Amino acid sequence: MLHKAVEELFAEYAAALARGERPRAREYLDRAGAEADELATMIERFLQAAPRPVATAEESALLAGWLQREPPLLALRVQLGLKRASVVDSLLGALRLEPRSRDRLADAYHELETGQLDPAGVDTSVWTALTEILKANVRELAAWRPPQLEAKAAYRRSEVRAPLEAGATIRQQRESERDEVDRLFRSVG
């Protein structure tokens, strides 16, 4: 006879799966304690009998990105046949930004799409707009990173040296130009 807690854990797992979530069996087995083997058997039988879910657009993009070592957001946009410029134009309107912000928005979106920007610093309004534009859970996709290629250090000797002041001047100029795009994509302000 099964322990009631195991039955409840199994019901919780099955319900999460039915809602389209991806529950982690290990977490449920840990919660089952001494009855983990019983729960594992129930979950295994259930998964063998349950129909396999069809891959979503996000999952397809993620797989394509991983296989080609492309960031998943980029793979999704390409899979949908959208140009980056059209996504940027749609974002400009959805976020109600001034037309003069388009170039900065294009740069920020490029950084996000190619995995150069930390998704944690991106405003919820950007995720909402991108979800509508790309018809996918882009926030989850942006969190994934393709495996990194192993790189060896390489050095090149150069005779041309930029003065240190030039780098400091460029940094100061960028900091003074922070605007709404930075707030939306970089948690600034």
Q: Indicate whether 23 and 44 sit together in one domain.
A: yes
Distance linking the first and last C-alpha atoms of the chain: 59
| Cβ proximity of 108 and 82 under 8 Å | no
Q: Indicate whether 45 and 61 sit together in one domain.
A: no
Q: What integer pLDDT is reported at residue 102 of this predicted model? A: 94
Domain count, the chain: 2
Which pair of structure tokens corresponds to residue 103? 């170039």
**Burial class of residue 87 (count of CB atoms within 10 Å of its CB; 0-12, 13-18, 19+):** buried
Q: Indicate whether 36 and 94 sit together in one domain.
A: no
pLDDT per position as a tens digit, 82-129: 999 999 999 999 999 999 999 999 999 999 998 888 888 999 999 999
Q: Indicate whether 113 and 175 sit together in one domain.
A: yes
Range of the domain at 181: 57-186
Is the sign of the CA dihedral 56, 60, 61, 63 positive or negative?
Answer: positive
Q: Indicate whether 43 and 65 sit together in one domain.
A: no
pLDDT per position as a tens digit, 156-180: 665 655 555 555 555 555 554 567 8
Amino acid symbol at 22: R
Q: Indicate whether 89 and 113 sit together in one domain.
A: yes
- Is the pLDDT higher at 37 or at 157? 37
Question: 186: pLDDT confidence band, cut at 50, 70 and 90?
Answer: confident
Q: Indicate whether 164 and 136 sit together in one domain.
A: yes
Q: Indicate whether 136 and 158 sit together in one domain.
A: yes
Q: Indicate whether 72 and 163 sit together in one domain.
A: yes
Q: Indicate whether 91 and 153 sit together in one domain.
A: yes
Q: How far is CA 114 from each of CA 18, 61, 134, rounded to the nearest angstrom? A: 33, 13, 15
Give residues with Cβ within 8 angstroms of 74, minimum separation 6.
Answer: 65, 113, 114
How many other C-beta atoms can be found within 10 angstroms of the C-beta atom of residue 72? 28
